[in-house]
């Protein structure tokens, strides 16, 4: 079984929607894939503009929505902060620590937390589709 790459996934998705893959969409995807940060639309737009000044903010925004639809990206709305996007395809599940002062985001995975969540779901006869754990606090840099 061949694993699809991100470009193929986007091409299939836009075709299914009756759209076409454009060079602008490919530039946005390439810029998004080139960053491992939790990126907001404005930050991605700045990266895209460095590659192609003709691409509009609206194109970046709409392309991010397409990336979420085909599960290449995941939209995150951290408490009191702007919406950010992270890579989803071929990335393992993780949770987040979010600094309330500087906005720093730290990804982490903890097997015990996952086990507790599964146990709680079983005890309540609940089928988990997905979950998002966000722990808000103050990072060490801001505390110093």
Task: Count the domains in the chain.
Answer: 2
CA distance 137 to 71: 29
User: Could you report the per-residue pLDDT of 50-88, keeping only the tens digit for each?
Assistant: 999 999 999 999 999 999 999 999 999 887 678 999 999
Give the pTM. Answer: 0.80
Half-sphere exposure in the Cβ direction for 25 (13 Å, CA):
19
CA distance 134 to 123: 23
CATH number of the domain enclosing 139: 3.30.1490.190
Residue where one domain finishes, among candidates 39, 68, 87:
87
CATH number of the domain enclosing 45: 1.10.10.10
- Residue 2 — very low, low, confident or very high, per pLDDT cuts 50/70/90? very low
Q: How far is CA 111 from CA 55, 105, 114, 122, in A?
A: 42, 20, 5, 16
For position 77, what pLDDT does the model report?
87
User: Could you report the per-residue pLDDT of 107-129, keeping only the tens digit for each?
Assistant: 899 999 999 999 999 999 999 88
Domain that holds residue 43: 6-87
Structure-token pair, residue 94 = 């993780």
């Amino acid at each position: 079984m061949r694993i699809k790459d991100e470009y193929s996934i986007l091409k299939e998705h836009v075709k299914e929607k009756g759209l076409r893959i454009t060079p602008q969409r490919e530039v946005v995807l390439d810029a998004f894939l080139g960053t491992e940060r939790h990126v907001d639309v404005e930050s991605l737009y700045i990266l895209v503009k460095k590659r192609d000044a003709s691409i509009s903010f609206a194109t970046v925004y709409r392309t991010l929505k397409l990336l979420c639809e085909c599960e290449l990206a995941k939209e995150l709305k951290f408490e009191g902060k702007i919406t950010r996007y992270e890579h989803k395809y071929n990335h393992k599940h993780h949770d987040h620590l979010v600094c309330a002062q500087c906005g720093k985001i730290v990804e982490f995975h903890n097997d015990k937390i996952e086990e507790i969540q599964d146990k709680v779901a079983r005890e309540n006869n609940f089928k988990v589709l997905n979950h998002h754990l966000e722990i808000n606090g103050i990072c060490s840099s801001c505390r110093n």
